[in-house]
Structure 1
Amino acid sequence: MELTKWAEELDAKVAAFIARSWEQETNEAEFNALALEIFAYQFEANDYYRNLCEQLGKYPGQISHWSQIPAIPTQAFKESVVASIPVEKSELALLTSGTSDPNLRGKIFRDRSSLANIIQANALLTKKYCFPDRDKMTMAMLIPPPEQAPGMAMAFGLAQLVKNYGKEDSRYFISTQGLDVDGLLTFLQDAVKGQEPVALVGATSGFVLFFNHLRQLNLRLELPAGSRVLDGGGYQGTFGAMTREEFYQNCQEFLSVPAYMCVNVLGMSESGTNYIDNVLAEVLQGRTNVERQKITPPWTRTVVVGLRTGQPLPPGEIGLIRHYDLTNRATVLAVQTDNLGYLTANGFEIIGRAEQVTSVKDFALGLGHRCSTVVDGMLAHSHACSTVMDQILKKAGV
């Protein structure tokens, strides 16, 4: 079959699968069939990926389960073009996440139909886990708008969030000039006066910087009930050390937003689906003692593999997190991250980041790790890698 037609048919199948997947008790057989077909397509369409698969001895028709599909490490996207589409036909090109060496940052290419599936999937997740109780909210965005940060995956994704769930008075408070502290304070104080719940949304580093300002001003805000904090994008200590637990304490102390109304989102340029904390949705359904975890949605699978063996580990054991995502048709289905974590009952949690490795092939085999800044929040043991947001705020001199 001609590759363009094959791609369109695959994306149509994935779109239908995503639309109905929450309603099915089990979808393993259908997921497996789709994953294997996407693997066969990517083997044909992606020269870089095919070469790696051949080195590993993995071929379509010779594997029977999605877990046998070779994963590409995030490092590969920084060193090569890893695309299963002609890049000249891409609808969107996003920068890979920043690394300790900014010269190693590459691009992720998406075509129209694969991008539509990514937008559809993340809109469903955002509604379910971030706004299950509201159709629209006023939002304070602690991230630059996409036109000021072209290619930044987080800026693109959050622009979709504002479009779908933000009220017209939502505003951005970070630009190339830095964080507009005065504007943000006025915005939030008006929300307090009007008793209108707000959502503070954006990069973790932006929140940490704002907390620092509030501490210096000795100022505390009591945001209306129903207000929430949605953060992501990683934080490597640019504006002072802060663990994830301390972040939640700051949300309570400075904003009067309890920890269960704080939702962390793991988003990766290299993979289409966002992974979102479950706590807000659980509490609003009356379940208050549920473990915080990032839910694996039905159109994805997440496994944790041993650092040296590359073999799957049972729930609770710490290893490298690997994602299999049906929305990744335009790149590669399976993405090996350098995030350290463990499987939970319905998803996974991240606890840190792995160290550096020597080669993409070793990483694909699970034999080592390399520095990347794709991480979902404050990591108590993180090391000093730069992020796009940190660089923007640092350049602005804040």
Structure 2
Amino acid sequence: MKVNLGAVWSGISIAALLLAACATHEVDFQGEGEGFVGPGAEVQAVLETPSVGTAGQDAADDPAVWASSTPVTVGGQTTLGFVAGTDKKSGLYIYGLDGRILQFLPEGLLNNVDLVEGLTVEGRPQIVLGASDRTPGKTGVSLYLFDPAGTGDNRVRPWGAVATDVVEPYGFCFARRGDEVHAILVGHEGELRQFILSVDAAGRPASREVRRAEIGSISEGCAADEATDALYINEENVGLWRYGLDPATGAARTLVQPIAKDRLVADAEGLTTLTDGDKRYLIASSQGDSTFPVWRIDGAAPEYKGRFKVVDGAVDGITGTDGLAAAGGAVGPFPEGVVVVQDDVNDVGTQNFKYVDWRDIRRALGL
């Protein structure tokens, strides 16, 4: 679907568009001070992961969730899926759906991670994980494979990389367009690169760049909604944009939500989608006030449904979130879906990831 910058939906002001044109640099954390939490419906996380290994630094960043209908083996342990989460100072964690560590890959400066089904390698369907990689000498998208049918010491394993001209890879997400797997990279300075990922005759990854565009300023979070052929990107100090997922739409986009108090507060960070029956939702991280705005996105235009915040409960609340990920339907112990959120200020130890039952969010927002 081709969109036009001038065809904004109602409620988006000319001033917001001027802001989009003028923002050219990073402005960190625009809330009312570190730890400030804005208004929103209250929910609680039900469990959390151990702290990431890098202590005393901004380290835990972005997760991805995969669910299986049958048990799989990761490092000799049985699970109904896993959560991949980055320590952007040292590598990639693989967690169980109960929060325990199943595997750690010391892969360097990985920032955003996502995963996708749809590629076959050496005759076996694989889960492909991709992570934006800022490690000197290997900047790009690092790729990993997981074999759902593997046994024994089956693990997530390095597969290769997507090379790019982006100096500092930042945001990353996968998307499916028909039979194609698309990899979307967002650079720290607002570069947008889209690739089609495939498998060559030797079973190695092959990529072809199909779109390059400039978002305008520092950007990170991205998420795709294949059903509406939409790509959503957070420009951190400007707002939430909707692009066409079709690379032929180029730089055309529509501003869904400008940065605004009590709605989406800079830095606008992570994005994720969740399918709940015949409904689909987009969830964003409003890092500046530690809340999470939600839009329903299966209609003609995104419909804002409210915000939630994660407060103290069985585990501590969540503040200053960078990345988040969600999966709808049965996800291990979560019968109707889960949202996994990075927590910047953990009560014990260093940063970690927390799991929120989707049913609690749905109930809190009346969805």
Q: TM-score, normalised by structure 1?
A: 0.26
Whose Rg is larger? 1
Give the structure with the larger helix fraction: 1
Give the structure with the larger strand fraction: 2
